[in-house]
Chain A
């Protein structure tokens, strides 16, 4: 059983389209995250949710909107996709925000905007 699963694994789309990436965790964790990894492998936090409530929203264009229907899911919707949005997006979860609990990562979604 995959602990943190995200779909799709690959997403190729045209500029201007709207797309969603889904994430689910079966670990019973309270906190979920979205990270963006650029071509140089640098990881940037985008959003963090704790018990379905947004606790971190870094400087991310408002074209990106996270949605957490319940504690086990955190989806990412992106409007009006741009070339610069091409990256690998990782969902992660942890038992709590910070402290000595580790984060578990999904396999990533490679988004390519053409």
Chain B
């Protein structure tokens, strides 16, 4: 079956620290991979995506690379800001099938 595993949170960092949120997946076939972000009181928004192996998705200083050999899609940012505090979801989307979301990782960035 299809599943997504994320590192457990919460993750608490100081402003300008380096961020990594690990994500690994199990899937049949070759899914697309996504990172979504949920700010307090809001719905999920797409942060970035990658549709095939070795693709790198990037947006707002965040990056993630589709690693087929390690079935991973880790999220990174070089210097986090207080405004990055949110819950981050890794997700996969096999063709013709439903989106599968990870459990979410809460990030708190302190000034």
Q: Which residues from chain A sit less than 8 Å from chain B, CB to CB?
A: 4, 33, 40-43, 45, 48, 56, 90, 92, 94, 96-108
For B97, what are the chain A residues with a Cβ–Cβ distance below 8 Å?
A: 97-98
CB contacts (< 8 Å) of B24 on chain A: these are none
Bound: A106/B43 CA distance, A: 6
Q: Which 5 A-B pairs have the closest CB atoms?
A: A105-B43, A100-B51, A100-B32, A41-B104, A99-B95
Q: Which residues of A contact B43 (CB under 8 A)?
A: 4, 90, 105-108
B binding-site residues for A, Cβ under 8 Å: 31-32, 34, 36, 38, 42-46, 49, 51, 87, 89, 93-99, 101, 103-104, 106
Could you tell me the distance between the alpha carbons of A103 and B100 in the complex, rounded to whole angstroms? 11
Q: Could you list some 26 contacts between A and B, CB below 8 A?
A: A4-B43, A33-B98, A41-B87, A41-B103, A43-B44, A43-B101, A48-B98, A56-B98, A94-B99, A96-B96, A97-B98, A98-B31, A98-B93, A98-B96, A98-B97, A98-B98, A98-B99, A99-B32, A99-B95, A99-B96, A100-B49, A100-B93, A101-B93, A102-B46, A103-B44, A107-B43
